Amino acid sequence: MKLHLPLLSVAAAVVLALTVSGCGGAAEAGQANQAGNEVKELRYQGSANNVTFPELAADLGYLGDLKLNWVGNTTSGPQDIQSAATNQTDFGGAFSGAVVKLIEAGAPVKAVTNYYGSDEKTFSGYYVKADSTIKEPRDLIGKKIAVNTLGAHHEAVINTWLTKNGLSQDQIKQVQLVPLAPNDTEEAIRRGQVDAGTLGGVLQDRAIEAGGLRSLFSDVELFGTFAGGQIVLRNEFIEKNPTTTRTFTTGVAKAIEWAAETPRDEVIARFTKIIESRGRNESTANLKFWKSPGVPEAGVIKDEDFTRWEAWLSSAGIVKDKLTPSKYYTNDHNELAAAKKG
């Protein structure tokens, strides 16, 4: 999904993050280091032909006097949060497991709100050809599954599904995950270049409409409605900019809630207006396939948003001991979280 800033390894991200955390960055040097003056312009990466919840929040007026400064489009969730950790941007979002991995590696960031997930309308499905001999989890041993990237949402979902269906880690290692651009996945399945593949959103809709594919399972069938990833901020950004952090986090939460409660046609019209007005030479054609925000409870984060992936995180060596969710997130800056508790 995206372009512009370079992909950094987790190790490089952590080194840079630890370096900048002690001295602040360019955006903060001129503003936040002055007493009583917080950052009012937040650098971020977007998504081509798509509207992010921070962008929606800004358009709806939920960010108050805060401004968003688009610096390019991100290549992936892990890259997006690495850019935030290393002060190339002020916030980024990624799959929960990627957030855990970055923080476990030493990056000084904290998740402040969920920003994507799955529900009965919006989910990731795992598909095979209609006449495929693959009928059950064990049939995937020795087979190839296309995913958008390794070490992220789809790998965790597939691993969890196979584990819950009785496969050992040795057997799961025999299921080959093949990184493939989402736009190429449907054709790769149909041509037999892979045995199964991940499809979501408009790509899923178009593939189902064309016929000839069969759903093996989906992430929402496995977990029900769930949050898949979080937006993170650097710890020192939060400390130096408490009001900005609260305004931003709450604004994003309000935008998620607005998208959940507003008639679908109105949401699509708003997205269309935003894309057409920002002048990035994008298409709005796929917006008609938008169904729901897919994010439960206005972005409020729960322990299970991380513990859901504990078995996979352990098997991948990302966490060595029992998972401690409180290390990774806080709802303290989301005013809607307190309202929902009450």
Domain CATH code at residue 257: 3.40.190.10
Determine the structural domain holding residue 51 and report its residue range.
10-117+227-341
Predicted confidence at residue 289, as pLDDT, reads 87
Would residue 180 count as lying in a domain?
A: yes
Q: Within this chain, do residues 218 and 272 fall inside the same structural domain, yes or no?
A: no
Predicted confidence at residue 36, as pLDDT, reads 61
Q: Computed from CA positions of residues 146, 152, 157, 162, in that sequence, does the dihedral angle turn out positive or negative?
A: positive
Q: Within this chain, do residues 163 and 130 fall inside the same structural domain, yes or no?
A: yes
Q: Which of 32-36, 127-131, 198-202, 313-317 has the highest mean pLDDT?
A: 127-131
The residues near 25 (Cβ < 8 Å, ≥ 6 apart) are 87
Quick check: 84 and 90 in contact, CB under 8 A? yes
Q: What are phi and psi of 117, to 5 degrees?
A: 180, -165
Q: What is the mean pLDDT of residues 270-274?
A: 97
- Does 147 have pLDDT greater than 60? yes
Quick check: 24 and 90 in contact, CB under 8 A? no
Q: What are the structure tokens assigned to 118, written together?
A: 């799955």
Over residues 320-333, the pLDDT tens digits come to 889 999 999 999 99
Read off the DSSP letter of residue 7. P
Number of domains in the chain: 2
Domain boundary among 195, 223, 251: 223
Q: Within this chain, do residues 15 and 111 fall inside the same structural domain, yes or no?
A: yes
Instruction: Out of 39-43, 71-75, 79-83, pick the least confident.
Output: 71-75
Q: Which of 224, 229, 253 is nearest to 93 (CA)?
A: 229
Q: Which residue has the tokens 């969890």?
A: 160
For residue 304, the tally of other CB atoms under 10 A from its CB is 14
Q: Within this chain, do residues 271 and 254 fall inside the same structural domain, yes or no?
A: yes
**How many whole angstroms separate alpha carbon 163 and alpha carbon 312?**
9
